[in-house]
Structure 1
Amino acid sequence: MIWLLFLALAALALAPLGWSLARPRAARGRHDADLALYRAQLAELDRERAAGRLDEAAFAAARTEVQRRLLAAPADAPAPHPRGAATLAAGLFLIPALGIGLYLWNGTPDVPAAPFVERAAEAARDDALLAQLRARIAQVPPASEGARQGWLLLGNAERARGRLDPAAEAFARVLAIRFDPGIAAELAELQVQRNALEPAAALLAQSLQAAPTDPRLRFLAGMVEARAGRPANARVVWQGLLADTPADAPWRGMLEQQLRELP
């Protein structure tokens, strides 16, 4: 009976892939895929907010993250090789077979789920590792490249854990060692999420002097103006960015939507 259950679960998991292979459809580029993903993620965030599972601050932070990923998305990639469909079709059979084979060889069905105590212990281990990283950073010259890389690693780790304040502090230390517009964009985005709009505006102004055409910096500059209650300024910034945005840019639809939502 348990094997029938495993097979049923595998069939359910792979059913969308099988349907997509069986149904003829026009090929979609990276641009269309990015837009579809953005709309799906945004709709999910709207549902979470409507259901009361996200407050306004969390909703704004999550939406900003989706926008960041879309702005960082590359242009259209080349179309997949025709043999890709055959490979995917073979995967419909090979993936369940491989999974069952691995389970038979080294499966441990009696292992219980990780309780809260174990998850808390894992979080404590992460805290200890980050503390060790901070200690190592303290042992190298403050303005060295080693310190810069350490702070950058720490900032990314803290942001991944949702700890915006220490992440912002780490990115600020990276910029203090050597200014970089890309890292400045990361810090400015964190400041927007933390509602530190004045520092974000000052940082973006400095960054745009070094990289005046960077679309992410320009988008964030408009976001600061919109969050600060200056929609007219945000409209000017975003309309200028829209005029310079190629028609096939993956973030163009998002930018147009932001403009439509301005009061």
Structure 2
Amino acid sequence: MFWIICAALVGVVAVAIAAPLLRRQGEGAEPAAAYDLRIYRDQLREVERDLERGVVDTADAERLRVEIGRKVLAADRALQRSAGGARSSGGWAAVAVLAVLLGGAFLVYQRLGQPDRPDAPIAQRIADAQDLYDNRPSQSDAEAQAPKPLRPPPDAEYLALIERLREAVKANPNDLRGLELLAGHEERLGNMAAAKDAQRRLVALRGEQASSDDLGRLAALTIEAAGGIITQDGEKAVAQALARDARNPQARFMMGLLHLQNGRPDRAFPIWAGLLAEGPETAPWIVPIRGSIQDLAWLAGHPDYVPPEPAQGLPGPDAAAMAAAQDMTPEEREQMIEGMVKGLEARLATQGGTAEEWGRLISSLPLIGQKDHATDILAEARRLFAEDPAGLEQIEAAASQAGVE
């Protein structure tokens, strides 16, 4: 039945395309040159009538006869060419091309398609997903195959400072602040495996004092080091982060990604839909969720799902964050601001943003003691907005106000 319906549809489409092409070759079709020839002959007769009525004199009538006569000869030659050759075969040629295309499509489908493949029942799909989940690569294998992230080459002075930091951490392996700094700077250099190892040691030293954010960061670095694949090590870190805080949005995003990587959109959809509904729109996971949530909803069996409208305006702390900041110590408030700035930088680096957002990042970095880094960001923003004068003006204004050159 399926093939009968397909053949009928192809036949209807082929007839609809071919009929107008063949109709042009019918006996009633008249070349344009024949129509022009009739018009010119009527004009010659009109000149004779005007001459008899005295509307034009003999000289003007002769001039008009010569001019119209040239047009008559040109039209007559065009008509002879049309009639002398075989009747236009354009319609039949088009029909032949259409037949070749249809036949070629059928042959390609027979070769590359799978018309006899039966539908996979839900139980089989779940079994295939479980098999995919069970046969994930190990962390070491994934790290060995992961592509190196592209980073601008650091200057020699910065590399020397990082080398000193590595030596200091090696000499004092229980230095929590040193491990925290090392994890951040190794990530900045693109050394994801080293950053992951430093964060893992930091979490181990903190023990029960390690926060859900510490574990979420370990999970993120583990996944990045594996080239985006959530291995058993990455899944373990995600589970630990959720065990400390079941509402941790970063860990929930990664859990949804785990299900998606292993063929379970039905499990990934409710997690990502919840994150999208909660926001905020500035969170780095919102953009990838918003870009794929409708396809994910369809795969998960929710074709009528309508994602919430994005919030308007520039990124910023919500009311809850502002209220919480009032009760923080200066050190805690500084850490919160630093986290927001890092989040904005990560989003702009991976997803891009407006000139206003780049200017905001440039003006924020000096506030957390990273004026040199703001200079690097300014150079990158100038490159990105080189062909956008209005955007470049916004960026330069923000840099000037922050004292960044």
If the TM-score is normalised by the length of the shorter chain, which range does it land in?
0.3 to 0.5
Largest Rg, 1 or 2: 2
TM-score by length of 1: 0.46
Which structure is richer in relative contact order (CA contacts within 8 A, separation 6 or more)?
1
